[in-house]
């Protein structure tokens, strides 16, 4: 049996606009998804998810004997967010040249599902790493990122950038623009995260922005404006100017709100963080509900968020310089 883990992430800048080729800067955080893979004697897949918002959920199916999982199993998989595991298994089988390999898989995640912290990318990258290693194949972080990206594309109906999966595979702060993905230097970033207990549907939110951008010039301009903010953000990162980073995060949140992907609870948490003295705050990820990220080296934002209506949890998160890795 192999156990691999991969980190979640926050977007310092650039979500949604990255889907249209603008740059983005996601940063891996020390909250991980762990996936264990044990090869079976048959071609069946048994997935058990401990903490994926569905305690103790288990599904078993076979998709290689008749070409596809039966409809009920497939629906359960997608509903449970385990569609990503199914796609990861396919990538592992493909990489190892063993299309009929069966696995017992267990997922344990510290990352809330669909909340903007990259849970699906972390589960997918860790799943590909564990599955391939269990079949005797070792892929580089870049190869895992590429396969995880293909898996996300499949589950999200062709709507995904490389940002989440690359960040989860390599760790650290990264810059993504189209197919160009690389690690960048970052100063100490005092991340504080607020979580409203909810989740957004990434596919639906991305499709909503696409529709708005096709209908209104302002939305296309807004997407480009986010790209400008990211470029300024890169300069502020290189200069280690955390105050300017905060200002730019505030601008970025305003533009995401204009694109219709914020929510009342996300806005409430963003304003609570700003009122508490954070350098800046914005939603992170696809939006619609889930998490905000703020920059504040003091305790003030975390404390204020705990008393903010709509905030279910607030915590500090460190940048994780480790990407996908085998757990001893
Ligand atoms: C979701 O975490 C980030 C989005 O930009 C979608 C993507 O990049 O695939 C909204």
Could you tell me the pLDDT band of residue 71, with boundaries at 50, 70 and 90?
A: very low
* Residue 61 pLDDT > 60: yes
123 and 215 both lie in a single domain: no
111 and 213 both lie in a single domain: no
Give residue 58's pLDDT: 72
Q: Which two structure tokens, joined as six digits, stand for 283?
A: 């939603």
State the total domains in the chain. Answer: 2
Return binding residues for ATP. Answer: 112-122
When mean pLDDT is compared across 12-16, 59-63, 74-78, the lowest value belongs to 74-78
63 or 317: which carries more pLDDT confidence? 317
Domain termination site, one of 154, 183, 212: 183
For every residue of 213-258, DSSP letters joined together read HHH-HHHHHHHHHHHHHHHHHHHHHHHT-HHHHHHHHHHHHHHHHH
* Residue 52 pLDDT > 60: no
63 and 207 both lie in a single domain: no
* Residue 251 pLDDT > 50: yes
In a domain? residue 136: yes
179 and 195 both lie in a single domain: no
Report, as an integer, the average pLDDT of 310-318: 96
Distances (CA, A) of 261 to 38, 205, 264: 39, 7, 10
CB 114 within 8 A of CB 201: yes
173 and 271 both lie in a single domain: no
CATH number at residue 115: 3.30.230.10
50 or 75: which carries more pLDDT confidence? 50
Side-by-side strand order, sheet with 191-195? 280-283, 291-295, 191-195, 313-317
69 or 58: which carries more pLDDT confidence? 58
Ligand 1: residue whose CA is nearest its atom 9: 160
* ipTM value for the complex: 0.98
| DSSP 3-state percent helix, strand, coil across the chain (nearest 5) | 40, 25, 35
Closest ligand 1 atom to residue 156 Cα is: 9
Q: What percentage of residues in the chain have a pLDDT greater than 70?
A: 92
160 and 16 both lie in a single domain: yes
Closest ligand 1 atom to residue 285 Cα is: 2
113 and 136 both lie in a single domain: yes
196 and 303 both lie in a single domain: yes
Average of per-residue pLDDT values in the chain: 92
Please tell me the number of Cα atoms within 13 Å of 114 on its side-chain side. Answer: 22
Question: What is the rounded CA–CA span in Å between residue 328 and residue 326?
Answer: 6
Chain segment 115-138, per-residue pLDDT in tens: 999 999 999 999 999 999 999 999
Domain termination site, one of 136, 159, 183: 183
In a domain? residue 328: no
Those residues with Cβ within 8 angstroms of residue 313's Cβ, 6 or more apart along the chain or in another chain: 194, 195, 197
CB 151 within 8 A of CB 143: no
214 and 95 both lie in a single domain: no
78 or 119: which carries more pLDDT confidence? 119
Report, as an integer, the average pLDDT of 79-97: 87
Report, as an integer, the average pLDDT of 169-183: 97
165 and 245 both lie in a single domain: no
Closest ligand 1 atom to residue 206 Cα is: 10
Could you tell me the pLDDT band of residue 202, with boundaries at 50, 70 and 90?
A: confident
Q: Which residues belong to the active site?
A: 164
Question: What is the rounded CA–CA span in Å between residue 212 and residue 200?
Answer: 18
Could you tell me the pLDDT band of residue 72, with boundaries at 50, 70 and 90?
A: low
In a domain? residue 113: yes
Chain segment 177-187, per-residue pLDDT in tens: 999 999 999 99
Ligand 1 pocket test target in 17, 24, 252, 286 with most atoms within 8 Å of CB: 286
Task: Report the predicted TM-score, pTM, of the whole model to 2 decimal places.
Answer: 0.92
Give residue 156's pLDDT: 80
Report, as an integer, the average pLDDT of 235-262: 97
Pocket-forming residues, ligand 1, beta carbon under 6 Å = 15-16, 18-19, 160-161, 163-164, 202, 206, 285-286
Which residues constitute the domain of residue 51?
2-183
């Amino acid at each position: 049996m192999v156990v691999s883990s991969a980190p979640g992430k926050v977007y310092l800048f650039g979500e949604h606009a990255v889907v249209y080729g603008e740059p983005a800067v996601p940063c891996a955080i020390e909250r991980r998804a762990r996936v264990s893979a044990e090869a079976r004697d048959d071609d069946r897949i048994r997935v058990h998810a401990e903490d994926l918002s569905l305690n103790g959920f288990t599904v078993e199916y076979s998709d290689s004997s008749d070409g596809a999982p039966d409809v009920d199993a497939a629906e359960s998989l997608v509903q449970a967010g385990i569609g990503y595991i199914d796609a990861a298994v396919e990538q592992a089988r493909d990489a190892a040249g063993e299309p009929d390999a069966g696995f017992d898989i267990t997922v344990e995640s510290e990352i809330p599902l669909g909340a903007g912290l990259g849970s699906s990318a972390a589960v997918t990258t860790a799943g590909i790493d564990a599955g391939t290693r269990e079949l005797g194949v070792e892929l580089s972080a870049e190869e895992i990122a590429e396969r995880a990206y293909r898996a996300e594309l499949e589950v999200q109906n062709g709507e995904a950038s490389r940002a989440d999966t690359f960040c989860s595979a390599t760790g650290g702060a990264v810059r993504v623009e189209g197919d160009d993905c690389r690690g960048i230097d970052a100063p100490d970033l005092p991340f504080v995260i607020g979580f409203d207990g909810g989740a957004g549907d990434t596919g639906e939110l991305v499709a909503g922005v696409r529709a708005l951008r096709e209908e209104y010039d302002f939305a296309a301009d807004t997407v480009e404006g986010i790209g400008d903010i990211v470029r300024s953000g890169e300069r502020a990162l290189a200069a280690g100017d955390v105050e300017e980073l905060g200002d730019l995060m505030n601008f970025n949140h305003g533009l995401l709100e204009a694109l219709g992907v914020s929510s009342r609870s996300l806005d409430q948490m963003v304003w609570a963080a700003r009122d508490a003295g954070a350098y800046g705050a914005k939603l992170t990820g696809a939006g619609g509900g889930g998490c905000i990220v703020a920059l504040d080296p003091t305790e003030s934002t975390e404390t204020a968020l705990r008393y903010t209506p709509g905030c279910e949890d607030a915590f500090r998160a460190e940048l994780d310089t480790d990407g996908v890795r085998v757990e001893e």
